[in-house]
Amino acid sequence: MKKLLLFVPMLFAMLILGCDKDKNETPQPTEKDKILINYPWRMSTVTDLSGKDIPINQLNTQTQAIKEVMDIQFLQNNVTKAIDQNSKQVINGGTWYLIDDNKTLDIKISGFSGQFGVEELSNSKLRLKSTMPVSGVDQETIMVFQPVIK
């Protein structure tokens, strides 16, 4: 019985130490994370759900600015930066997370936040589903991004 009483506290201590070790480990990036952080991404077009391009003059000014002015850089530490395409200066920043088993990209940047459905994420294309104003009416769209290869 005494041996059992000595064994229980040792087991309890081992469990506590094991849990502390797990808390300090840095999560390793997934394959999708690695693709996302490989390079900056530039919006090439916005389409409707059937794949038809939406003219830029039908998009709101925020979306136009993302397309014409910014590249989006996702960093390994879940920091994201909006970078001016010409000057390469950081315009804005925030955080990003792939959630829901990599099916949703959660971005929080001042002026551009939301959860976007990941329709495609490959080395050559990023397609995000979103609801945005098109000619002043909210509609489901696909934002298509291409990698910026330097």
Predicted confidence pLDDT, tens digits, the chain (150 residues): 544 444 444 444 444 555 544 455 566 778 888 999 999 999 999 999 999 999 999 999 889 988 999 999 999 999 999 999 999 999 999 999 999 999 999 999 876 789 999 999 999 999 999 999 999 999 999 999 999 987
Q: Backbone phi, then psi, for 123, in 5-degree steps?
A: -65, -15
Residue 24 lies in a domain: no
Residue at token pair 């502390």: 20
In the three-class reduction of DSSP (H, G, I as helix; E, B as strand; rest coil), residue 40 is classed as coil
Residue 69 lies in a domain: yes
Residue 9 lies in a domain: no
Residue 105 lies in a domain: yes
Q: Is residue 42 a contact partner of residue 145, using CB atoms and an 8 Å limit? A: yes
* pTM of the entire predicted model: 0.79
* Res 150: pLDDT: 72
CATH code of 109's domain? 2.40.128.540
DSSP state of 20: H
Residue 13 lies in a domain: no
Residue 3 lies in a domain: no
CA atoms within 13 A on the CB side of 84: 6
Residue 16 lies in a domain: no
Question: What is the tally of structural domains in the chain?
Answer: 1
Q: Domain containing 55: what range?
A: 31-147
Residue 25 lies in a domain: no
* Cβ count within 10 A of residue 65: 16
